[in-house]
Amino acid sequence: MNAEPRRLALILGYSFQSIELFEQALTHRSAGTLNNERLEFLGDALIGFLIAEVLSEKFPDANEGTLSRMRASLVKRESLAELARKLKLGDYLRLGAGELRTGGHARDSILADALEAVLGAIYLDGGFTAARQVVLALFADRLNATSATQSGKDPKTQLQEWLQSRRRALPEYVVVTVAGDQHNQSFTVRCQLSDALIYSLGTGSSRRRAEQSAAELMLEQIKI
């Protein structure tokens, strides 16, 4: 592990009673038998329920299909991985030698699973109320930006429609870097607005995913 896990707990705003449970949540299966897979299972269910609860309260007139699409967008692998990157979660992971060599600390699937595991560990360590506070704080910006009319639309489409509705120029997407082996590449894409001095950088396992990530981050900037 490259960084002290208590630093991550401080960022999350939660103090673990069992640091061993926290360390288990940060341990990938490649690093040993006592790993985060079961905690990931628990955290996945926890996040899904809490996001569903908030969306149900926030959009009382939305039907089941719309609520399901909004939840799916918020809890999909790419969204969780992006949240994990903001926390620099990859710096705290325990990985086996093979995963370390292939850049597992930056892979969407490993980051998303680890975030779910950490939240599952918080639930076991501190109970439902503590876990709820951490989950809602993590997702606060994304929940505030969620719209029933935009549900089901990917971030690039949302950004394009937002700009067109204001008669602004469409963004330009440029690949900044491509890292990793050919079978396990990581793309970084810059989303640039020609009529404003702002840009965003998105990452993903493909150019398309990186563009979607960059568009999502740009939407967060311009809506603020």
Is pLDDT of 59 > 60?
yes
Sign of CA dihedral 63, 65, 68, 72: negative
Q: How far apart are CA 90 and CA 104, in angstroms?
A: 8
Domain spans, the chain: 5-146, 156-223
Residue 78 is labelled as binding a ligand: no
- 77-107: pLDDT as tens digits: 988 998 999 999 999 999 999 888 888 888 8
Confidence of residue 65 (pLDDT cuts 50, 70, 90): confident
Active site residue 37: no
pTM of the model: 0.71
CATH topology of domain 156-223: Double Stranded RNA Binding Domain (3.30.160)
- 113-170: pLDDT as tens digits: 999 999 999 999 999 999 999 999 999 988 988 876 555 678 898 899 899 999 999 9
Q: How far apart are CA 109 and CA 118, in angstroms?
A: 14
Sheet holding 172-179, edge to edge: 172-179, 186-192, 199-204
Q: Which of 99, 116, 125, 211 is catalytic?
A: 116
Residue 141 is labelled as binding a ligand: no
Active site residue 116: yes
Distance between terminal CA atoms of the chain?
35
The Cα angle at residue 179 between residues 203 and 205, in degrees rounded to 5: 40
Q: Tell me which of 27 and 184 has the higher pLDDT.
A: 27
Q: Phi then psi for 191, rounded to 5 degrees?
A: -105, 120
Confidence of residue 111 (pLDDT cuts 50, 70, 90): very high
Residues forming beta bridges with residue 27, ordered by sequence position: 94
Residue 40 is labelled as binding a ligand: yes
Look at residue 154 in the predicted model and tell me its pLDDT: 82
Look at residue 1 in the predicted model and tell me its pLDDT: 46
- 178-206: pLDDT as tens digits: 988 777 788 999 999 988 889 999 998 88
- Residues whose CB falls within 8 Å of the CB of residue 119, separated by 6 or more in sequence, listed in order: 43, 46, 47, 131, 134, 135
Look at residue 11 in the predicted model and tell me its pLDDT: 94
CATH topology of domain 5-146: Ribonuclease iii, N-terminal Endonuclease Domain; Chain A (1.10.1520)
- Residues whose CB falls within 8 Å of the CB of residue 68, separated by 6 or more in sequence, listed in order: none
Look at residue 6 in the predicted model and tell me its pLDDT: 87
- Residues whose CB falls within 8 Å of the CB of residue 3, separated by 6 or more in sequence, listed in order: 88, 91, 92
